[in-house]
Amino acid sequence: MTDLRPRFWETVPLERMTRAEWEALCDGCGKCCMNKLEDEDTGEVALTNVACRLFDDATCRCSQYDIRHQFVPECIVLKPQNMDRNLYWMPETCAYKLLWQGRSLYSWHPLISGDPDTVHRAGVSMQGRTVPEFEIDDDDWEDHIIEEPT
C-alpha cells in the first residue's frame, strides 16, 4: 500500500481518489456480496447471509473480482458517480457510505488499524457466516435474513 497517500480518506474527496485509494477503502467485510431482499412497497432492504456464488467465505473477498461481470453481470461497480443510487443497499459500516455521509471510519477498519483482520476480529465481517446462493432456493432467502453486524 505504498502508493496510498497518508490518511487520504480524511482529505481526498471520493471522486479524486486514485484507483488504489478507492480499492483500499473496502474493509473486506463481505456484506456487499450478500444477496439482499428489497420490499417492493417500502423499499426497505434486508441483508441475508446468502452469498454471491463468487464470494469466498474464508477471505471475505470475491474469488473472481477482476472478471466478476463475466459470471455475475448484475454486480455493481461502485464509484462516486453512482453512490447516490446505491447507498440504500450498502451496509451501514461501509467505508464508502461513511465517507459519502461525511462520517469517519471505524477503528477496526484496516486503514485505521493497519491490520486487514481487525474487521473480522471485530465481528463485523461475514467471514464464516454465509451459505452459498446455489444451495438455497430463492423462495427461502427470507429464512436467511440477518441483522447487520455493527
- Among candidate residues 23, 26, 28, 46, the one with its CA nearest the CA of residue 125: 28
Say what the pLDDT of residue 150 is. Answer: 47
Helix (H, G, I), strand (E, B) or coil at 140: helix
- Cell readout for 64 is 473472481
- Among candidate residues 72, 66, 70, 69, the one with its CA nearest the CA of residue 53: 72
Query: Could you state, in chain order, the average pLDDT of each consecutive group of 10 residues for the chain (150 residues)?
Result: 88 96 96 94 93 96 95 93 91 95 97 97 95 95 83
pLDDT digits (tens, 9 = 90+) for 50-74: 999 999 999 999 999 999 999 999 9
Say what the pLDDT of residue 149 is. Answer: 56
Name the DSSP letter for residue 145: B
- Cell readout for 60 is 471475505
**Torsion sign, CA atoms 74, 77, 82, 84:** positive
Say what the pLDDT of residue 34 is. Answer: 96
Say what the pLDDT of residue 43 is. Answer: 87
